[in-house]
Structure 1
């Protein structure tokens, strides 16, 4: 119903409005910028500019010839800021505390990890231990147990909360729950 009403107002006096719009004076177009070819023709006609372009400038040429650049790489120095490149054999490793039973995904069984790192199983175990008993599994104890940095361990415990399920109770008692059905 509303579409019919809007269509009536939209089509009212349509032909007169169209003729009025067509009959309006059109705005004048802006003047075009002189084209590149015109500029090149003007420059080509001017002999002074052409001669200045092709003329040698002896003072500038002598200054250019006097410039001499010699480049050498600085000798490679081992500074205190740049540690030596570590190979896989040089990294300190520690044996795993926990691992997956069996080989469910066809992944090679990992036996050790670098110090300062955790495997996924170890991370989940440490987080669940801390969640169950935070007084015994403090950040310091977890850092010592898994050879981690204390700052990283505190960040891990603060920002990664595994398996936290919150059940929000319904607002009214009449609402059905999954357990009720």
Structure 2
């Protein structure tokens, strides 16, 4: 029994040090070299932090671009999706309610033109980006409420569209809304 007990204890201590001390310190050190130094990339407005570039936040005012819906209420402490499949009656009702709400707030938009991302939550519930189409479909509403020419908002969306080599283009909703507030 001693033959197996001592090596087991040594292995347990070695793995504990490796996986509970060395590995986390290594990952923290690598994170310090990332944008935001591992604390997330802060978005500023008038010298104040208004949010983080990589975490979505709710915008309830119709004068702003709306992000994807969130199954976790945009709570970064509890990231997650609803885990309801496309045939789940509760999921279908939620999506239909979101479509109806979108149509009320965006009159003149055809139901078939609403991007799926605006009526379904992301897997994390914290997706900070929309497709350019998801942003552009909201331009008419915002232009009307803010009394800004639509073309100016289309240009703003285009200026904030990030092209990707591997994936689709995207627009960060928080950065877009900060720029929207800075429009003269």
Q: TM-score range by the shorter chain?
A: under 0.3
| TM-score, normalised by the number of residues in structure 2 | 0.19
TM-score using structure 1 length: 0.19
**Larger RCO, structure (CA 8 Å, separation 6 or more):** 2
**Quick check: which has more Rg, 1 or 2?**
1
